[in-house]
Amino acid sequence: MAEDMTVGRAATGSGPGPEAAGGTARGPGAAIRAAGSLGPWGPTPADEIARRVKKVQENLERAGIDLAIIVQNADLYYLTGTIQQGQLLLPAHGEPLFLVRKDLGRAREESPLANIAGIASFKELPAAVAGFGVAPTAVLGMELDVMPVNVFRRYEPLFAQATIRDCSMAIRDSRSVKSEHELGIMADAAVIADLAVKTASEVLREGMTEVELSARCETTMRLAGHQGLVRFRSFNQEWAYSHIYAGPSAAVPSFGDTPLGGPGVSAAVAQGSGWRPIGRGEPVVVDLVCCAGGYCVDQTRILCLGPLPADLREAYGACVEAQDILKQTSRTGVACGEIYQRVVDRVAELGYADKFMGAPRNQMPYIAHGLGLEIDEPPYITRGSAAQLQTDQTFACEPKLVFPGRGVVGIENTWRVTPLGLTSITISEEGIIEL
C-alpha cells in the first residue's frame, strides 16, 4: 500500500497548466470567456471529421450495413461537428449527406461536411436514401440502443422492404478510440477539474453543507469552460456533474448504475450532494465529471477536515493499491475481464470484498468505464468481459469502498491506453487532502 497518502491544503494550490497536462493554450480561463460562440475548442477540423466518417464506414461494411441513418446527438456531433437536429445519411461507401430540420444555417456554420441540406418532412427520406443508389431491400442501420420505439415506428413504414439493424456499436467502437485532437480536449477538461479540486481544498469549512461546497466547485468549472451537462447514453441514467458528499451521506445508495449515489437535494433527483453539514474527521468525496469542448474526464479525490480515522486511511490505501494493479496490468490487447479479476481478487485478499464498488446488495460488477463524448462508453472493465483494450481508448477507473453509516473512500482517474501501459489524463495530486 502507499506509504504517504496525505496532501496538505497548500500542496493543492499549485499544479501544471494546460500545456503540461497535454492540452494547449486554448483553455481554460480568460481565453475561454473571450472566445467566440464556438469557444476555444471548435469547430471540429475537416480532416478529423473525415477520419471518423471513414472509420465508421469501415465498421458499417463489416457489419453488412449498406447505409446508416444517424440521429442521436452525441453520434451526430462525432460525425458532423454539430448537434443540430436532423438525420445523417452515412453510406458504407461514398460521401455522407446531412439533412437538417433545425437549424440549417448553424449546421452549415459548425460542420465541415460538404453535403448539408434542409429537410422538412420524414417523407423526404426515402428519396434521399435512394439517391445513394441504395435498393429498397437494402440493410439500413439505426441507433436502436437509444432510439425510442415510437420514433422508430415513424421510420418503419418509410423503409418497409428494408432490413433495419442496430448500428450503434459501429459508431461507438470508433468513438472509443480517441484521436490526438480528442485527447487534447480531454486534457483541457482535466485542467478544469483540477481547478475545482483546488477550490474545494481552499473553501471547505466545518459546517458548510455539501450543496454549498458542490456549488463552489461547479462555479469554478463553469467559469473555466465546463459545458454544463454530462451526456449519459444508457436509458434512465442521469448525472449531476459534481457528486460531493461527506460522511454517511456518501454511503447512501441510489438508482444509478454507479458505486455511489448520495442523497441529492430531493427524492426527485436522488443523487449527488445533499443538505447535510460537513463535519470534522469524515471523508469528503469530491467526484467530478468535467466536460469541456464536448469531452468528459472523471476523477475523485478525498478531502478531510483534520485527520482521517486510521481504519478509513487504511481502506484508502487499498483503493490506491487497486489502482496500482490496474496500472500494472492494463495495456493494449489485455482482456478487460482479466484486469477486473486481478483487482477484485486483491481487494478480497485485503478484506474489503463486501464494501468494494458499492454498499452491500448494491455493488457494481465493474471497476472502470470508458468515456469521451458520453460518460458511459467502451471499454468497460467489468466481470467476465473478453473485450480487449485498444490503443488510445480512454477510461475512468474508480476503486471505491463504501462503509454504510460512516462514509466512502476511494480514488478515480481518467486514463489513456497505450501499448506500454496507461498514461493519466487527469492531473490533480493524489493522496488524502487533510485540511
Q: CA 379: distance to chain centroid?
A: 11
> Does the pLDDT of residue 22 top 80, yes or no?
no
- Say what percent of the chain tops pLDDT 90: 86
Question: Looking at the domain that runs over 46-174, which CATH code has it been given?
Answer: 3.40.350.10
Whether 6-29+177-434 shares its CATH topology with 46-174 is answered no
Amino acid at 427: I
Q: What is the pLDDT of residue 41?
A: 85
Radius of gyration of the chain (CA): 23
Crossing angle of helices 168-176 and 46-62, in 10° steps, is 130
> Does the pLDDT of residue 52 top 60, yes or no?
yes
Q: Distance between CA atoms of 194 and 411, rounded to whole angstroms?
A: 14
Convert the pLDDT of each residue in 122-135 to its tens digit: 899 999 999 999 99
Q: What is the pLDDT of residue 42?
A: 78
Which CATH number is 6-29+177-434's, of 3.20.20.80, 3.90.230.10, 3.40.50.1370, 1.10.3720.10? 3.90.230.10
Domain spans in the chain, listed from the N-terminal domain onward: 6-29+177-434, 46-174
> Does the pLDDT of residue 239 top 50, yes or no?
yes
Task: Write out the E strands in 168-241.
Answer: none
Three-state DSSP class for residue 68: strand
Average pLDDT, the chain: 91
Convert the pLDDT of each residue in 351-383 to its tens digit: 999 999 998 889 999 999 999 999 999 999 999
> Does the pLDDT of residue 36 top 70, yes or no?
no
Q: What is the pLDDT of residue 360?
A: 86
Nearest to 280 by CA among 253, 307, 315, 243: 307
Half-sphere exposure of 136 (CA within 13 A, CB side): 6
Assess contact for 80 and 52: CB atoms under 8 A: no
CA distances in angstroms from 148 to 71, 178, 283, 315, listed in the order given: 12, 28, 41, 43
- Say what percent of the chain tops pLDDT 70: 91
Convert the pLDDT of each residue in 304-321 to its tens digit: 999 999 999 999 999 999
Convert the pLDDT of each residue in 186-227 to its tens digit: 999 999 999 999 999 999 999 999 999 999 999 999 999 999
Q: Distance between CA atoms of 83 and 320, rounded to whole angstroms?
A: 39
Q: Which three cell numbers stand for residue 306?
A: 483534520
Q: What is the pLDDT of residue 35?
A: 40
- Model pTM score: 0.91
| Sheet with 139-142: strands ordered across | 116-118, 97-102, 85-91, 67-70, 139-142, 163-166
Nearest to 288 by CA among 381, 189, 357, 400: 189
